[in-house]
C-alpha cells in the first residue's frame, strides 16, 4: 500500500479539518485575534439573552394565568339580585 492509497482512505471529516487548518495559517495574527474576541463576546452575550428569555417566558405565563382568571370571573352571573 503506497502513500497515495493511504491518503485516499482518509475520512471526509479529517480532510475537512485539514483544509480548515491550512486556511488558518494563511490568516494574520490580528485577524485571528479579532475572530477569537468576536467568538468570546458572542459566547458571553448568550447568557444575557438566555436570562431575558426566561424572564419573558415567566411574565407571559403570569399574564396568561391572569387573563384566564379575569375572563372567568368577569363573566360570572350574580344570582343574588332580585329582578322585581
Task: Return the ∠ at Cα 63 (arms to 58 and 66), rounded to 5°.
Answer: 125
Domain that holds residue 26: 14-45
Q: Is residue 50 part of a domain?
A: no
Residue with cell 344570582: 79
What proportion of the chain, given as a percentage, has pLDDT over 70? 70
3-class secondary structure, 1: coil
Task: Return the ∠ at Cα 73 (arms to 68 and 74), rounded to 5°.
Answer: 100
Q: Is residue 6 part of a domain?
A: no
- What's the whole-number mean pLDDT along residues 13-41? 80
Q: Is residue 66 part of a domain?
A: yes
Do residues 24 and 32 lie in contact, with contact meaning Cβ atoms separated by under 8 Å? yes
Give residue 11's pLDDT band: very low, low, confident or very high (50, 70, 90): confident
Non-local CB neighbours of 65 within 8 Å, separated by 6+ positions:
none
The answer, yes or no, to whether residue 9 has pLDDT greater than 80, is: no
Task: Return the ∠ at Cα 36 (arms to 47 and 53), rounded to 5°.
Answer: 15
Q: Is residue 7 part of a domain?
A: no
Q: Is residue 19 part of a domain?
A: yes
The total of structural domains in the chain comes to 2
User: What was the pLDDT predicted at 14?
Assistant: 87
Q: Is residue 62 part of a domain?
A: yes
pTM metric for this prediction: 0.41
Amino acid at each position: 500500500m503506497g502513500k497515495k492509497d493511504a491518503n485516499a482512505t482518509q475520512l471526509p471529516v479529517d480532510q475537512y479539518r485539514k483544509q480548515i487548518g491550512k486556511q488558518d495559517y494563511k490568516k494574520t495574527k490580528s485577524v485571528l485575534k479579532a475572530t477569537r474576541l468576536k467568538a468570546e463576546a458572542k459566547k458571553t452575550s448568550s447568557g444575557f439573552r438566555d436570562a431575558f428569555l426566561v424572564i419573558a417566558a415567566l411574565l407571559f405565563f403570569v399574564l396568561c394565568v391572569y387573563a384566564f382568571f379575569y375572563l372567568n370571573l368577569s363573566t360570572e352571573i350574580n344570582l343574588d339580585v332580585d329582578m322585581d
